Structure 1
Amino acid sequence: MSSTSSSTSNSQTDPEYQTTTPKNESDATFEVNLEEHEHPQNLSLSKRWLIVVLISSSSLCVTCASSAAAFAETGMSREFHVSKIVTILSISLFVEGLGFGPLLVGPLSEVYGRNVIYRVSFTLVFAFSFAVAFAPNIVVMLVFRFISGFCGSAFLSVAGGTVSDLFVNEEVATPMAFYTLSPFIGPVVGPLFSGFINQNVDWRWTFYVMTIWSFVQTVALFLTVPETYVPVLRKWKAARLRKQRGDDKYWSPLDHEQKNIWRSILVSCYKPFQLVMYDQMALLLNLWSSVVLGILYLAFQAFPVIFGDNHGFNMQEVGLSFLGIGIGMAGAMPTQLLWNRILAKQASKHNGHLPPEAHLLKGELGGVLVPLGLFWLAFTTYPHVHWIVPIIASVPFGAGSYYVFTSVFTYLVSAYRPIAASAMASNSAMRSTVAAVFPLFAGVMYERLGTVGATALLAGVMTVMAPLPFVFRRIGPRLRARSRFAVS
């Protein structure tokens, strides 16, 4: 189906594109709609993909900053005269900021649009990066790490909404898979360069590099990424028509909804909490992806033990040990072409309409690969086992993690399309909170249980959660029919 025909179909079926009921026939006459050529889904394919690439690279930059600090911990501890657990907070607080931020910026994007959120977000990330890089003490460092994470969080929630703005359900799987890779391969890329930096130069260079990168991303966002949220585009068009024609009768649904703007913001801010409180699928799928991300961030404390203590790796070699996870994630990305064929068959079984639960097929494979990789990793962490074996074991964990994240992300965007950004915000908040906590107890857990016992415990937890996508793929339609948020 072409983009043009698909977008026309969407305008008839998606609540996001539906109009409010006019008070009378005169009101309906002056209701503003987008022309076909004005709809973001009818931008050229190259333009839409350029936008996806830029917001994905911004997401990569933010999440890379979260993990890069792991290898600066020794330098921070020495210069600021604080303990190891305090320096770990530089990761935890940044990730916690990533978790809290979407609760505000995600819903706000549905009021003010995506673009202004991106521009303000990365401008602040760039500004606060200076405070982190030149922090005179640990308190300033930690405070601005949290604020930087908070400001950069837009790309873990709003970006998913942008992808759904640009592509219809039948086309969204591939760009969503590409975007999904960026925030989760980012924590893997961080140690790769941070290990080399901290092995050879001062630890502050870790944050100098991130400051430069954030500046480049800020410029690119201002120059290239347009607004894509249809209700806001309709509101802007109505304002233009009122000004050009001198007639105040032109309106869009968002104009009527924003009579009490503060109430609208308040409602938008608690919407993610409503979603996880009242929707069983959203809650459990969010929890599942949260534990996977928590284990990924726990690895920043576990790998130095596994490869540093057991195999005598130096700092930059420990950083390179994360390549296995990265190869698994990157290797899983091209399989989206195969998944597209599978999804097309699923759509044909449902009269051409792809049910959101079909995206959980990837989650089923991911649910198996994650515990498999962790069990393999657990029983190959002995010092007498060659170091390449646990690195290879981390490949299926990386691939499985990718499948878990992309299946949950795409499901949330498809099933909760009218509130896509809020759905992503609820997921981001939960998984980032879990990821912030896991590194704090990693050291104690690995010290008391050993590398085998601690990793096997994590594998056991993921084994218990593995049936979730299998169950929800079958009962999902019934749960969506009862949901106050999902598209039935």
Structure 2
Amino acid sequence: MIQAWRQRKEIESDALDYIAEKSESGEDPYLMSWAPGDLRNPHNWPLYRKWLVTIQVALIAFIVSMAGSINSAADVYAAEKFGVSLEVISLQTGLFLVGFGLSSPIMGPLSELSGRLPTYEFPLLIFSAFCLGSGFAPNIQTRVILRFFAGIFGAAPLSNAGGSVADMCGPLERTYLFPLFSCIGFLGVPLGPILGGWIGEKSNQEWCDFVTAIVGLAIAVGCFFFMPETQSAELLKGRSRALRKHTGDNRYRTAMEVMLEERNESFFMVICKSMAQCVMFLFTEPITLCFALYLTIVYIVMFGDLESYPIIFAIYDWDSGKTGSVFAAMFVGMVFTGCLTPIVYKFYLRAQKKADITGEPVHPEHRLLLAMFGTWCMPVSLFWGAWTAYKSVSPWSLIVGQFVFGIGALCCFNSSYMYVIDVYTVNAASPLAALVFLRYIVAGAGSVMFTRPMFDGMGIHWAMSFLGFIAIAVSLVPIVFYIFGPQLRARSKYAMSQ
């Protein structure tokens, strides 16, 4: 917030110089825009600054992702404390994820209207407060409700991160900056059970929430002092306000302000329409719907996997600390995927050079190459785990399977998000919100709360195989879109057609 305040003051200070520059260039002086090469434009920031901002957004995503999984490894201790079944205690994770999904169509439009920064800082503080409160909850009802609201306020980084990266980067820079975000942000998912398992065993399970709240608060304080605003429209608002104040002429506006004035709608109505647009994209755009379903199934499998490992490793008589440590393999798999980024960048750079020669943009389908590789890692790891989960077989076999799963999950996430951003470009906010909305609601209401009954009813081997068959069913999605994506884009009103 302090960094953003300095940005606005710097932009406001040159307001009158801006009028002179516009008059000389013959452009409309009343519509705010950036001069070519203006270093205050986030697209022109030096690379190190873009990296730092991306890491800050990723750290917020890291803590909220960790909050979604940290309690799963300590469910046994929480169930004992509150005197409820493991199925009931899984509501604390399930409703947390549902809260993520419900608020994502709101957070995206809010960031477009008020800037990215307010949707990161203030929700993160409230998220941390609800996590702290859930640690002190006297009963399971209070705990579940507080976790639900923590999820609602924790959704911003997962809804808005694509927008923040797009604020600063063109397609080529996104090739390595978005994977940087997703790698750091996603590491919270496997790290949560690692910490939760040992915290639940060595201390009270409430400390899962206390640790989340403390880290969340620390990140929020860091963002308050050091995180800048990245949205150009919000930064240019300061210049238009200063010009209106200095000149008394109310015609100075940003493009966003002009649009809102022409629509003559209240802030609430704009938010409602943006939410409706998110739903519209989900049900009328085949690309959005297919990738929303694709990532939803990836998440069903991933969170089902998280919930199942305490059951699976019970055959080795492992405690919660050792069982949680197994997710270090998924952690390493995700880091390995992050290390593939330079290779992906070289492929995209080669495609960019060819496109420059022909004068056409790089086809978004190039983003799917990583998913076409990673999507098969998930069913392989699940069947691997399903039929080596015997006491007579070394647990290292299951651990290696988790490594492979981590590679697959992050490959699918990276490729899918970058593909949707490239397909919809300036219209990407609504389809990205739709992706978050569907996958977290279904993953929260479905996989988390029904995994244990499924494993109890089907047994370890067939329950994991069932998840593997689901993973196979969607593994063709990246291949199908790589082949038929251009035709589908040509039929869309919002997608780039070339």
TM-score between both structures, scaled by the size of structure 2: 0.90
Aligned to 1:349: 354
Matched, 1:370 2:378: yes
Deviation per CA, 1:29-60: give whole Å up to 9, x if none. Answer: 31111232221011121111111111101100
The answer as to whether partners of 2:87 and 2:453 remain within 8 angstroms in 1 is no
Deviating above 6 A after TM superposition, structure 1's stretches of 4 or more consecutive aligned residues are none
Aligned to 1:479: 488
Distance 1:449 1:183 in 2: 33
Aligned to 2:312: 306
The answer as to whether partners of 2:87 and 2:452 remain within 8 angstroms in 1 is no
Deviation per CA, 1:139-158: give whole Å up to 9, x if none. Answer: 11111100001101001111
Instruction: Find the partner of 2:290 among 276, 284, 290.
Output: 284
Distance 1:149 1:220 in 2: 21
- The Cα of 1:94 is off from its aligned counterpart by 0.5
**Aligned amino acid, residue 204 of structure 1:** E
- The Cα of 1:126 is off from its aligned counterpart by 2.0
Matched, 1:388 2:393: no
- The Cα of 1:219 is off from its aligned counterpart by 0.5
Instruction: Find the partner of 2:65 among 63, 66, 82.
Output: 63
Matched, 1:75 2:77: yes
How well do the aligned residues superpose, as a CA RMSD in angstroms?
1.7
Distance 2:66 2:184 in 1: 9
Aligned to 1:206: 208
Percent identical: 27
Distance 1:444 1:178 in 2: 36
Matched, 1:379 2:387: yes
Distance 1:87 1:183 in 2: 25
The answer as to whether partners of 1:286 and 1:408 remain within 8 angstroms in 2 is no
Aligned to 2:241: 239
The answer as to whether partners of 1:366 and 1:403 remain within 8 angstroms in 2 is yes
Aligned to 1:404: 412
| Cα 1:130/1:89, change in 2 over 3 Å | same
Task: Indicate the SS of the match to 1:349.
Answer: helix
Aligned pairs for 1:145-184 (under 5 A) are: 145-184=147-186
**How many pairs does the alignment contain?**
463
Deviation per CA, 1:77-133: give whole Å up to 9, x if none. Answer: 222222221110000011111111111111211111111111221121122222111
TM-score between both structures, scaled by the size of structure 1: 0.91
Q: Bigger CA drift: 194-203 or 448-457?
A: 448-457
- The Cα of 1:472 is off from its aligned counterpart by 0.5
The answer as to whether partners of 1:366 and 1:400 remain within 8 angstroms in 2 is yes
The answer as to whether partners of 1:180 and 1:409 remain within 8 angstroms in 2 is no
Q: What are the ranges of 5 or more consecutive residues in structure 1 without an aligned counterpart?
A: 1-25
Task: Indicate the SS of the match to 1:384.
Answer: coil
Aligned to 2:460: 451
Instruction: Find the partner of 2:342 among 331, 337, 353.
Output: 337
Matched, 1:419 2:427: yes
Matched, 1:315 2:320: yes
Distance 2:143 2:277 in 1: 32
Task: Indicate the SS of the match to 2:324.
Answer: helix
Task: Indicate the SS of the match to 1:28.
Answer: coil
**Aligned amino acid, residue 408 of structure 1:** S
Q: What are the ranges of 5 or more consecutive residues in structure 2 without an aligned counterpart?
A: 1-25
The answer as to whether partners of 2:74 and 2:320 remain within 8 angstroms in 1 is no
The answer as to whether partners of 1:112 and 1:232 remain within 8 angstroms in 2 is yes
Distance 1:130 1:304 in 2: 25
Distance 2:131 2:411 in 1: 32
Distance 1:183 1:446 in 2: 29
**Aligned amino acid, residue 112 of structure 2:** E
Distance 2:398 2:355 in 1: 43
Matched, 1:470 2:479: yes
Matched, 1:358 2:363: no
Aligned to 2:29: 29
Distance 1:471 1:301 in 2: 31
- The Cα of 1:334 is off from its aligned counterpart by 0.8
Aligned pairs for 1:49-60 (under 5 A) are: 49-60=51-62
Aligned to 1:17: none
Aligned to 1:328: 333
- The Cα of 1:27 is off from its aligned counterpart by 9.8
- The Cα of 1:359 is off from its aligned counterpart by 0.3
Task: Indicate the SS of the match to 1:38.
Answer: coil
- The Cα of 1:320 is off from its aligned counterpart by 0.6
Q: Bigger CA drift: 422-431 or 335-344?
A: 422-431
Q: Bigger CA drift: 459-468 or 148-157?
A: 459-468
**Aligned amino acid, residue 485 of structure 2:** G
Matched, 1:433 2:441: yes
- The Cα of 1:388 is off from its aligned counterpart by 0.4
Aligned to 1:133: 135
- The Cα of 1:245 is off from its aligned counterpart by 2.8
Distance 1:347 1:374 in 2: 36
